[in-house]
Amino acid sequence: MADFKSLQIDCKDGIAIVTLNRPPVNAFDRNMYMEVKNLFNDPDQIGPDVRVIVLRGAGKHFCGGSDLEGFKAMTPENAAERQWHVREAFFAIQFCPLPVVGAVHGVALGAGLAIAASCDFVVAAEGARFGLPELTVGVMGGARHLARLAPQPLVRRMFFTSEHVEARAFADAGGAVVVCPAAELLERARGYAQKIASFSPTAVRLAKQVLNRIENMDIRSGYEFEQRFTVRMSGHPDSKEAVRAFTERRPAIYRPRDPSWTIEV
C-alpha cells in the first residue's frame, strides 16, 4: 500500500476505517486531495478482503475545508489544475468500488462538506456543523454535492448565507444524515459498515456500481437497469445462498468476491 501522509488507515473484519489526519482541522491541500484520489480509486490496496470504508476525521473536526493558502495562491492560470485535483478526490469517494460511510463530527465545511456528501451516506454527531462558506472566501463550489444530501432550498440558503447548520437542524430541514450522540458516532458508523460487510462481497460491489449509474436516471430507466442485474445475480451462487440463509434463519456463507462481476460485462 502507498505511504499516505494525511490519511490513517486501519482495517479489521473487512471494515476499513480511513481517518483524515492533517491537523488542526484536516484542511485539504493538494497532496491530501491526491492521497484521497489514490486510495479511494483503488481501495483493494488496503487489503484483499476489505468490503466497506468508514471515513472520519481526526481531532475535533471532520474537515474544515480546503487550506486557505491554496486559495491565496490561486490565479486563473493555475486554478484549473488545482480544481482538477479537488474534483478527482470527491469523485474517487463517490465512485469508489466499495460503499463509503461518512462519520462526521465537529465541522464539515466547504470541501469537507463535499467530501461528506460524496460518501454513500452520512452519520453525524449531535452538534456537528455543516456549511458552505465559499462566498466568504470568494470562491464557488460544493452546492451540487450538498444537493446529494439536502433539498434545493436548503442548499441555496446554506450557500447564499454561508451559515453553519447543526446536524439536528440540518436533518430537520430535510438533510439526509443519521444523527447520533457524539460518543456513539464511530460505533454507529461501524454498525452500518458491519451490516454492509455481512452481505455478498460480489453483490455489494455490483450494487455500488448500479446505484451510481442510476442516481440521475428517471424511475423507469433506473428500475429497468436494476432489474438487468437482478437477472444476472440470479445465476450467482451467492444469490441462492442468500435465499437459503434467509429462509433457514442462519448467517449466509458467501464466496470470495468475484472481480469479473461488474456492470460493464
- pLDDT tens per residue across span 82-114: 778 889 999 999 999 999 999 999 999 999 999
Query: Can you give the C-alpha Rg of the chain in angstroms?
Result: 19
What CATH number belongs to 7-197?
A: 3.90.226.10
Are 131 and 158 within 8 A, CB to CB?
A: yes
Check: CB of residue 101 under 8 Å from CB of residue 55.
yes
CA distance linking residue 204 with residue 6, whole number of Å:
28
Predicted confidence at residue 70, as pLDDT, reads 65
* Residue of 209, 1, 8, 7 lying closest to 99 (CA atoms): 209
pLDDT of residue 71: 63
What are the sequence ranges of the domains in the chain?
7-197, 201-248
Higher pLDDT, 252 or 262: 252
pLDDT band, very low/low/confident/very high, at 213 (cuts 50, 70, 90): very high
pLDDT in tens, 172-205: 999 999 999 999 999 999 999 999 999 999 999 9
The answer to whether 124 and 167 are in contact (CB under 8 A) is yes
One-letter identity of residue 61: H
Per-residue model confidence (pLDDT) at position 2: 76
Rounded to the nearest angstrom, the gap between the alpha carbon of residue 127 and the centroid of all alpha carbons in its chain is 20
Q: What are phi and psi of 60, to 5 degrees?
A: -80, -15
Residue type (1 letter), 41: N
At residue 251, does pLDDT exceed 60?
yes
0.85 exceeded by pTM: yes
Q: How far apart are CA 200 and CA 83, in angstroms?
A: 37
Report the pLDDT averaged over residues 115-133.
Answer: 97
**Mean pLDDT to the nearest integer, 234-251:** 95
3-state secondary structure (DSSP) of residue 60: coil
| Side chain identity, residue 253 | I
Reply yes or no: is the peptide bond before residue 24 cis, omega within 30 of 0. yes
Q: Encode pLDDT of 138-175 as tens digits.
A: 888 899 999 999 999 999 999 999 999 999 999 999 99
| Residue-level pLDDT at 78 | 77
98 near 51, Cβ under 8 Å? yes
Of 93, 101, 7, nearest in space to 52 by CA: 101
pLDDT at position 84, please? 80
Cell numbers of 132, please?
A: 458552505
pLDDT at 265 over 60: no
**DSSP H or E run through 205:** helix 201-214
Section 34-63 average pLDDT = 97
The mean per-residue pLDDT over the stretch 31-59 comes to 96
Quick one: angle between helices 79-94 and 30-41, nearest 10? 30
Q: Where are the beta strands (DSSP E) in the chain?
A: 7-12, 15-20, 52-57, 100-104, 107-109, 121-125, 129-131, 165-166, 177-180
CA nearest neighbour of 7 among 70, 53, 74, 52: 53
Q: Does the pLDDT at position 30 exceed 60?
A: yes
Backbone phi and psi for residue 31, each to the nearest 5 degrees, phi listed first: -65, -40
Q: What is the number of residues in the chain?
A: 265
What pLDDT does residue 263 have?
A: 76
